[in-house]
Amino acid sequence: MNLSLPVASTPLKGALAVPGDKSLAHRAALFAALAEGTSVVENYPDSGVTRAMRGALESLGVPSSLEDGVLTLKGNGFRPFPNAGATADCGNSATTIRLLAGALAGTGTAATLDGSDGLRKRPMNRIADPLREMGVAVETTEGRAPMAFHTTPAGLKPVDYAVPVASAQVLSCLQIAALGASAASRFTVPGPVRDHTARLLNSMGASIRDDGRTSVVAPLAGTALRPLQARLPGDISSAAFLFVAAALVPGSEVTIANVGVNETRTGILDVLAQMGAQIVRTNERLEMGEPVADVTLVAHPLAAVSVQGDLVVRSIDEFPALAVAAAFAEGRTVVREAKELRFKETDRIAAIVTQLRALGAEVEAFDDGFAVTGGTLKGGTARANGDHRLAMSLALCGLRVPVEVEGAEILNESFPSFVPSLTSLFT
Ligand code: S3P
Domains by residue range for the chain, with CATH = 13-20+233-423 (3.65.10.10), 22-231 (3.65.10.10)
Grouping H, G, I as helix, E, B as strand and the rest as coil, residue 17 is: strand
pLDDT value at residue 152: 75
| Ligand 1 atom with minimal separation from the 171 CA | 14
- CA 19 / ligand 1 centre spacing (Å): 18
Name the strand (E) or helix (H) holding 358.
helix 348-358
Task: Please enumerate, as own/partner, the contacts of 279-288 that have beta carbons within 8 Å and a separation of 24 or more.
Answer: 283/257, 287/230, 287/231, 287/233, 288/24, 288/200, 288/203, 288/228, 288/230, 288/231, 288/232, 288/233
- Distance (Å, rounded) from C-alpha 8 to C-alpha 174? 46
Index of the ligand 1 atom closest to the CA of residue 197: 12
Mutate to test the pocket of ligand 1, among 95, 197, 337, 392 (most ligand atoms within 8 A of CB): 95
- Mean pLDDT, rounded, for 185-205: 97
Contact 396, 421 (CB under 8 A): no
**Number of Cβ within a 10 Å radius of residue 41:** 25
Task: Read off the pLDDT of residues 71-97 as tens digits, 9 standing for 90 and up.
Answer: 999 999 999 999 999 999 999 999 999
Report the nearest-CA residue for atom 9 of ligand 1.
317
Angle, helices 125-133 vs 94-107, to 10°: value is 10
Residue 151 has pLDDT above 90, yes or no: no
Ligand 1 center to 95 CA (angstroms):
6
Nearest atom in ligand 1 to 343's CA: 15
Closest ligand 1 atom number to CA of residue 316? 9
What confidence score (pLDDT) does residue 176 get? 98
Burial track 233-266 (b if 16+ CB lie within 10 A, e otherwise):
bbbbbbbbbbbbbbbbbeebbbbbbbbbbbebbb
pLDDT at position 154 over 80: no
With residue 162 as reference, give the H or E element that holds it. strand 160-162
pLDDT tens for 15-74 read 999 999 999 999 999 999 999 999 999 999 999 999 999 999 999 999 999 999 999 999
Please state, rounded to an integer, the average pLDDT across all residues of the chain.
Answer: 97
- Give the residue, by CA position, lying nearest to ligand 1 atom 16: 167
Give the pLDDT confidence of 27-37 residue by residue, as tens digits: 999 999 999 99
Q: For ligand 1, which residues put their CB under 6 angstroms from it?
A: 23, 26, 95, 167-169, 172, 194, 316-317, 340
| 379 closest CA partner among 406, 400, 410 | 400
Q: How confident is the model at residue 288 (pLDDT cuts 50, 70, 90)?
A: confident
Are 206 and 135 a contacting pair, CB within 8 Å? no
Q: Determine the distance separating the centroid of ligand 1 and the alpha carbon of 323, expressed in angstroms.
A: 19
Active site residues per annotation:
317
Across 160-174, average pLDDT: 98
Q: Could you give the C-alpha distances from 371 to 209, 278, 355, in angstroms and in order?
A: 38, 23, 13
Q: Would the pLDDT of 153 be above 90?
A: no
Q: SS3 for 240?
A: helix
Ligand 1 atom closest to the CA of 23, numbered from 1? 11
Contact 155, 171 (CB under 8 A): no
Q: What is the pLDDT of residue 169?
A: 98
Residue to mutate, 169, 317, 387, ligand 1, most ligand atoms under 8 Å from C-beta: 169
Of 100, 176, 194, which is best to mutate to test ligand 1, by the most ligand atoms within 8 angstroms of its C-beta?
194
Task: Indicate left, alpha or beta for 108 from its phi (over 0: left) and psi (-120 to 50: alpha).
Answer: left
Burial class of 191 by CB neighbour count within 10 A (0 to 12, 13 to 18, 19+): buried
What are the residues whose beta carbons fall under 8 Å from the beta carbon of 211, sequence distance 6 or more? none
Classify 361 in phi/psi space as left (phi over 0), alpha (psi -120 to 50) or beta. Answer: beta
Residue 40 Cα to ligand 1 midpoint, Å, equals: 24
